Structure 1
Amino acid sequence: MILLAKRTSLLRGWRRWLAAFAAGATGALAMPPFGFLPALVLSLVPAIWLLDGTMKEGPSRWAPLKAAALLGWFWGFGTFVAGLWWLGAAFLVEADQFAWAMPFGVLGLPALLAFFPAFGFALARLLWLPDARRILAFALGVTVAEWLRGHLFTGFPWNSPGMALGQNLWLMQTASLVGLYGLTFLSLCIGAAPAVLASGQTTRARWMAPVLAAVLLLGLAGFGFWRVPAEASASVPDVRLRIMQPNLPQDAKFNPRNRDAIMRHYLSLSARPARDGAAPTHIVWPESAFPFLLHRDAGSLAQIAALLEPGSVLITGAARMDEPLPGEAVGKFYNAIQVIDDRGTILGSYDKVHLVPFGEYVPKVLDAVIRAVGLRQFVHIPGGFEPAGKRMTLSIPGLPPVAATVCYEAIFPGEILSDGPRPNLILNVTNDAWFGETPGPYQHFAQARLRAVEEALPLVRAANTGISAIVDPFGRIVDRIPLSVEGILDSTLPVAEPATVYSKWGKFSLTVTLVICLMLLVVRRGRHSTFP
């Protein structure tokens, strides 16, 4: 291992960048649906050795930082290409319109996202020490970069390293204390620690960090084993959920010619008799369920009313349009969740706050350019969707207060709850048919599931396809409908648990942890001023 570490650190030129790319790409195997945790080590250990190789980089004092940033960019590019290649499937749904843009999604987005780990590697290199403490520097730098990736430019915290731990039932329980970014810091420390085996001057120095990492991993698993109760979660009384997964092809969903067939399909699936004969009190349909405006279609509302038993309600994703303002041809469109009772009356709506850039909206200037050259955006909505002003708790008869999320809103830790009284349920409606049978839908579900653990709230998830599920507040899957399967899921609703440490103090505790690490590194670096 010592020889391998030395050879890796001595790589220069294209061999160094290729090694960084390969190491980053290997880390994708630690993400859902693979969950191969050793891949995290195989990704992070070479990154540490490559950063060691920047110690004597060039005559300029800034040369090591530039080399580290370039390493981080190639490492990140490999990570995101290997982890997000499935985004290309969305460009083939209407290939005649969008296939030309596939390289921009498959390679262009990873190239942009790679600037975040580039910053993280440079920050780590700025704090680098010639001993095991460089593992802390690396974890700190990349965690800061991951937090920035999740917040800047609307944010995109997809496949953060913390998901390597955040998909295992026992290991994910630590998210109730520190959330996704805390898990990211821990994942980086654990995964990078074996690098020290090849660089310590004594046996103790070589083994201390890997042993501590192993103890930490066992401690996280032990905490999870302790936290997850042996018995199933209790159920909310008088609530019987039915989730409908229609498994419609994406190119059929937005075709207005299919509107009647789609409605018949939804109604037929939703009317199936339950195995135990119990009628559902709440039926949940997925995101953007209709190729028309449901709230303006009296016939469809009447069909829904005929489906529902007295006192029951339907919760569905649907596009919604405000009344046009004076001088406007059309009103503003929203990607919404609507609640409909047994009389066909819309009782309430939640409008999506966090829209998908270039998927649900395009900045006005770019939208004008796109239309000027004869192209259009993904959604069949004039001008795209508008974001809601703020997150609102959704009130649904017969259910506790609901934290509603549409599609990828569920991937943002600490952002799914509104101000005010705490909800007792996370509702996520989505449409992952855009991405076919790729890792994308599995990754999306895993991130939504982690929100349930962070907040100690049950998750009710309805997808057009992949993956509809009921998840309890500990992240246990009560029941689910697999990807690319048509069906219904009948279930009770698990009771929420008390608010977690993360829900109350998560952002504060992460900041304190990173500041303490920074102080330790700065103090130690002062004692090793000869290390460039």
Structure 2
Amino acid sequence: MRSPWFARSLLLTAGALFPLATAPLYWWPVGLVSIAIYCIAMRSVHTVPQAFWRTWAYQFGLFGVGVSWVYVSIHDFGDTSMLLSGLVAMVFAGGLALVPAMVFALRQKLIGQQYAWLSLPVFWFLSEWTRSWFLTGFPWLYAGDAHLYSWLSGWAPVIGSFGISFILVLTCSSLLEFAHKRRIRYLLVLLLWPSGWYLQSQQWTHPVGELKVAAVQGNVTQDMKWDDSMVGPTINLYFGETGKLWGNDLILWPETAITLSYHRFQPYLEELSTIARSHNATVITGIPYKYPEGHELAGEWHNSITATGIGSGLYHKQKLVPFGEFVPLEHWLRGALPFMDLEMSGFLAGPADQKLLQLEKDERLVLIAPFICYEIAYPLLVADMARQADMLVTISNDAWFGDSLGPKQHLGLAQMRALETGRYLLRSTNTGITALVDNKGHIIDQLPVNTRANLSGTAVLREGETPFMIAGVWPLLVLSGLLILMAIPAHYRDQKRRQGDFY
């Protein structure tokens, strides 16, 4: 890859192929080929700028295709022209690509090609981990999330999708090292694959009861959802659909199912609670929460979820979507584009360590970990909140992204979080995809998109902690630190030796 433009073009193409490995296709062998091309390109890197631009080209291709669904929300619902929407989507993809590009530039600066077969998976992990928290995080399109149905899925409850990503890159880099040095020890990495197959049969959590659950998919079109004239019909819709579902222990409505604020909806909520209690049921709904007058945060908003009936609890979303739920640098950007002024784009983030939602079943307190929209994409957040929970619920309004890759990828991420935590998960969305997922990440039932319908099923309540819930990413962080500490002196000695040879 002597020509920089050829290398970057090849990497751009390889990155663009990677999303085929993720939901909904799950063509994971394509992902392996894509990663292998990246590893080959990075083994011939000699300078920091080379490392930066090769990584950026690969990741720009990956995000350019993988998150192309943002175009739909910007153009179709953000009232922005096609040309400008496409440009904003490209800038978004390019910005996301900067994080891994900087991480691999740092790799080249600190350790160069020392222990390349191991440093490539280490810094891939570090780039994904950094992307999970940097500037609020964007934990989307992790390599490990593509292996929900491969042998490696058995590793998800042990080391999470972060760890599966590590195994994938280690597989590619070790095979390349074997091809170069012909040493059998580099093939030992292949044992991790059948080990994953064996781990699939392990039960890390145990059942403690059951809930009859249901979810309502209202299918209110996005262009009408926030219209004042739709408030009454929408309330009637959800009350009417819920009336068909009494007999279930838990009934889930989607994100901002009701567009009235929590306090304005209070009379209806009390009526709903009374009816739900008469049926020994709990209704959980997404709803905007506005602080009332007299509160120190009066006038401020949260994207929230609340339980009523025999259940209780109020949760405010912690991980907000940039530009969708809050505008970074609001003073300068608000009003610059129509997309910057979407409905409910001024939320506050909820605090950490909020109480879980709860309900009673057979004289037992059932704890439910709630996640709103793309919070379910955060492996560490979900693992932490699931530790005390008996099951997970997630609500969303994927109507923003139409029938694009976005809603399908979103469901796949929810499935991986269920697998990592060994918990059943109930998902309700406005237009789809509403689904019930078991503790192995498998879909028990789901509703078709763009359809008004209800889903009913049985969720098994489970207790216990998976290894990933206990250790998180600490084993990988320690390994990364040890490698860097070991490789820096070796890289420094090599540089000194080359300088001595030059002089």
Structure 1 moving runs of 4+ over 4 Å: 97-101, 232-235, 373-376, 417-421, 519-532
C-alpha contact 1:176 1:501 (8 A) present in aligned 2: yes
**1:354-377 Cα distance to aligned partner (Å, 9 max, x none):** 1111110114x5246524x58463
The partner residue of 1:338 within 306, 325, 344 is 306
The partner residue of 2:242 within 250, 270, 282 is 270
Distance in 2 separating the partners of 1:429 and 1:486: 16
Matched, 1:219 2:195: yes
Q: Secondary structure at the match of 1:462?
A: strand
> What TM-score results when the alignment is normalised by the length of structure 2?
0.88
Residue ranges of structure 1 left out of the alignment (5+ in a row): 1-8, 56-63
Structure 1 residue 252 displacement after superposition: 1.9
**1:171-226 Cα distance to aligned partner (Å, 9 max, x none):** 223121112221221121124444446x515xx24x764x43433222222322x3
The partner residue of 2:67 within 72, 81, 84 is 84
The equivalences for 1:30-179 within 5 A come to 30-55=21-46, 64-96=47-79, 101-126=84-109, 127-129=111-113, 133-165=115-147, 167-168=148-149, 170-179=151-160
**Residue aligning to 2:349:** 387
Change (3 A) 1:168 1:261: same
**Residue aligning to 2:320:** 355
Structure 1 residue 428 displacement after superposition: 0.9
**Residue aligning to 1:60:** none
**Residue aligning to 2:229:** 257
Matched, 1:291 2:263: no
Change (3 A) 1:98 1:249: farther
**Residue aligning to 1:59:** none
Distance in 2 separating the partners of 1:119 and 1:261: 50
Segment of structure 1 superposing worse, 278-287 or 119-128:
119-128
Distance in 2 separating the partners of 1:531 and 1:47: 27
Matched, 1:247 2:219: yes
Change (3 A) 1:347 1:391: same
Question: What is the RMSD computed on CA atoms of the aligned residues?
Answer: 3.1
C-alpha contact 2:80 2:337 (8 A) present in aligned 1: no
Paired AA for residue 30 in structure 2: A
C-alpha contact 1:324 1:331 (8 A) present in aligned 2: yes
**Residue aligning to 1:236:** 209
Paired AA for residue 26 in structure 1: L
Distance in 1 separating the partners of 2:266 and 2:338: 33
Structure 1 residue 407 displacement after superposition: 0.7
Residue ranges of structure 2 left out of the alignment (5+ in a row): none
**1:37-87 Cα distance to aligned partner (Å, 9 max, x none):** 1212321222223223334xxxxxxxx121111111111111110111111
Q: Secondary structure at the match of 1:262?
A: helix
C-alpha contact 1:124 1:140 (8 A) present in aligned 2: no
**Residue aligning to 2:15:** 24
The equivalences for 1:301-312 within 5 A come to 301=269, 304-305=272-273, 308=276, 309-312=278-281
Structure 1 residue 256 displacement after superposition: 1.7
C-alpha contact 1:241 1:282 (8 A) present in aligned 2: yes
The partner residue of 1:200 within 175, 180, 184 is 180
Structure 1 residue 235 displacement after superposition: 6.8
Q: Secondary structure at the match of 1:243?
A: strand
Paired AA for residue 236 in structure 2: R
**Residue aligning to 2:290:** 321
Structure 1 residue 234 displacement after superposition: 4.8
**Residue aligning to 2:375:** 409
Paired AA for residue 144 in structure 1: L
C-alpha contact 1:37 1:164 (8 A) present in aligned 2: yes
Distance in 1 separating the partners of 2:483 and 2:295: 57
How many residue pairs end up in the alignment? 492
C-alpha contact 1:407 1:429 (8 A) present in aligned 2: yes
Q: Secondary structure at the match of 1:400?
A: strand
Structure 1 residue 15 displacement after superposition: 1.8
